[in-house]
A and B are shown apart, each in its own frame.
Chain A
């Protein structure tokens, strides 16, 4: 079967899988990108959030066929321990997490927000993150971390 072509974290990939396969399964099981998490499978919790052509989308509900030719960004493409994205650094600085399972999805949603709104209010950040569930109650730290990252990015001109 001819594979589906797309770009993941800046690199071209060709995935030989059933076109109905959820993008989340493609990322985790076919491409080994386990940073994106399964939470609910019905687009309600945001654990599986990725950017598709710059827009935050829940990958559990996106069939592979719908992302052909598109550009996907996952948590692995956001930054690395050596070169952390300001959001990742801010989450570490604020110790914004408990179990941490929700964090990849939240970081991706926050990245999309800051890409479109470099100076969000606390309320705007919270509303943007309403698609993501955190059950441990790390919300206050997470909001603080996103504010911190936004300030750093504005100061350093990061996009």
Chain B
């Protein structure tokens, strides 16, 4: 199947310091892809760059295509039709994404006017339908509420309703549940799943939480210091993680069953953009590092179909075996 969105060699730097160092990624129509990584790894910047939402001082190279349409360097009127229309995005903090001085319904009607040309009663009826769809009770009355009158979970539902206003082919959800309580997180994840099934919409879920991604997505990309270090179908990633960073992330997660052991914390911290190691960016924290890791950026190895890992250990299975044992 032709990809819906394809990223090739996407690089972003701010004031000469690299934030993204070459992202290759494609998303099929209707697919759910998880993008996992720690703060500063570039998982949000990837989508801000793709949609032309980065400030002017950012230097962007590479290509992002939406069904063949190049988005990098595209004129503003093209991007405006894509943003919120074909690709919608929701963020971590719904309250700050909504305008506090306008009624929520008015903000959704604005999105409907921009992307679907709906006005007046038609827009309001559609806004009510969207509110019903995302599970906001008493939709007709709640359209006249202000964001502060909503709870955090309801604000996120309202944001999702607004994102759906343009009938997007791809929804990028950037940490959509991080600011919410766990029981509300479960509600929002459930909602995203059901909407995706209903509309055949592709979903990119950006999250630091491997558990959230594991449940929601079919394929996962793990990012570290501006690169994708591992990509695999979700079951494969959890059953046979090939990159030491992925193994480190999984090992750092406290188990909920079985004996309690000391957590295998990854030592040290993420490298700063101005002090990027010469070879593999993870090498300084890696317990499986050897001399070649410091020479150059490792190429992708393919331990299984649809599974890639940018690690020299993964490229030489016999070595990886001795490490795993």
A binds B: no
